[in-house]
Amino acid sequence: MAVPKKRHTKSKRNKRRMHIYLEEPALTTCLKCGKKIRPYTVCPHCGYYRGKKVVEILEKLTKRERKEREKEIKEREKEGKSLSLEELSRK
């Protein structure tokens, strides 16, 4: 069994571990609801993928959750439609 002849310093140990860390996941915004999601996945909030409806999310929710989610979607749609051409070009 191998036994080290000399003690490794904290500096040496930390240099070896320099590349061991957590990375932030890459996130994109959903085109429909504007929430942050992982790329190339269906949005868990609205059920859209690349602007097309793929999953009916509202069916899986309770009545109370469904009403809240519908309100959020309507508010976001109103916000999106109220923008003028100048405001859209600024974004």
The rounded distance, in Å, linking the Cα atoms of 41 and 44 is 9
The tens digit of pLDDT for each residue in 1-42 reads: 788 899 999 999 999 999 999 999 999 998 888 889 999 999
The rounded distance, in Å, linking the Cα atoms of 10 and 16 is 10
What b/e readout covers 20-30, taking b as 16+ CB neighbours within 10 angstroms? Answer: eeeeeeeeeeb
The tens digit of pLDDT for each residue in 44-67 reads: 888 889 888 888 877 777 888 888
C-alpha closest to that of 48 among 58, 56, 38: 56
- Give the residue extent of every domain in the chain: 23-90
Q: Is the dihedral of CA 72, 76, 81, 84 positive or negative?
A: positive
